[in-house]
Amino acid sequence: MLIVSGSSCRYLAVNVSKLTNTPIVPNECKVFPDGEIYVRINGDVSGKPVAIFQSFALKPNDYLMEFILLSDLVRDLGASKIIAIIPYFAYTRQDDRFKPGEALSIKTIASIFKSLNIDSIVTIDMHLHRVSSPSELFKIPVYNLSAMGLLMDYVMLSFKPESPIVIGPDEESRQWAETAARRANVEYDVLEKTRYNSYRVVVKPKRLDIDGRDVIVVDDIISTGGTMVEAVKALRSCGARRIITACTHPILVDKALSKILEAGAEAVIGTDTVPSPVSYVSVKSVIAEFLTRMFQ
Ligand code: R5P
């Protein structure tokens, strides 16, 4: 197998390449003065399976376009198989028409992927709520790996929480709260959230047995931080002692990090699916182990 990386996650591609002993094919990705994207592969990929790394965070539209160009190019140059490694998969939260006339973005992205003739997709903690089988939607195998175990190991080791409980900020996060709690063999529960717009969310305090306990709040994504801020406030009002927040994808726009810390969280922990000041946990081993098991 060979690895080709888009410009969003070269660090991760290099780390996975080292762990799996897979060569990286050099490439060039740049933006023309008018904003158009240019890509070039400087190596031979013909007849070989190629894993293309690209995370769709921070500049989702540019990175998506770069990925489209790279994967079509790799196919044109004769790769025998394309495995798309998309650590953060954007456009999955718009999985319903919440208001009449809205685009079903996840469905549109799935159609684009189908047209690219990709063989499989590997991603981490994809935001799956109303779509239960991404493989059915994308019509190719989609392997949705999780970083929740690694995040939980990191939190337990670094913070040594007392009488810990894992809390998800909303019903959608139940799956991640459950996985994280299972890893450390602790209890979990979820809060109730209502979202009014991209920034305004309300999380209801609820009867929880957390008085004097250390709480680990887990979610897939922290974007504006609105969800975490509200969750931290609700948990404090319920008597939580220490609150440590963790997510797989620390997108952290609009001063999200300082807002969450100011709300009373002791720390924000994320992974390197998105480069950020809190990407303390690397998903390289999760991806490397999967690639070794499946493709080597
Ligand atoms: C949505 O349900 C997700 O799981 C996250 O809770 C959400 O994307 C976080 O966004 P924000 O940080 O902007 O509240």
Please name which of 90, 75, 84, 95 lies closest in space to residue 141, comparing C-alpha atoms: 84
Give the integer Cα–Cα distance in Å for 109 and 128: 14
Does residue 286 share a domain with residue 141? yes
Where is 101: in which H helix or E strand? Answer: none
Task: Identify whether residues 121 and 6 lie together within a single domain.
Answer: yes
Give pLDDT tens digits for 50-105. 999 999 999 999 999 999 999 999 999 999 999 999 999 999 999 999 999 999 99
Place of tokens 């410009």: 7
From CA 189, how far away is CA 167, in angstroms rounded? 5
Q: Is 224 in the pocket of ligand 1 (CB under 6 A)?
A: yes
Number of domains in the chain: 2
218 and 237 in a single domain? The answer is yes
222 lines ligand 1 (CB under 6 A): yes
Same domain for 95 and 47: yes
Do 136 and 153 lie in one domain? The reply is no
Q: Is the pLDDT confidence value at 289 over 80?
A: yes
DSSP H stretches of helix in 79-173: 105-115, 134-138, 148-159
The verdict on 131 and 177 lying in the same domain is no
How far, CA to CA in Å, does 273 sit from each of 201, 211, 296? Answer: 25, 33, 23
Q: How far is Cα 97 from Cα 167, in angstroms, rounded to an integer?
A: 28
- Which tens digit of pLDDT belongs to each residue from 132-163? 899 999 999 999 999 999 999 999 999 999 99
Q: What is the CATH number of the domain that holds 261?
A: 3.40.50.2020
284 counts as catalytic:
no
Residue 221's domain comprises: 148-272
pTM of the shown model:
0.96
- So what's the pLDDT on residue 199? 86
Best probe residue, ligand 1, of 227, 249, 261 (max atoms within 8 Å of C-beta): 227
Atom of ligand 1 minimally distant from the CA of 256: 12
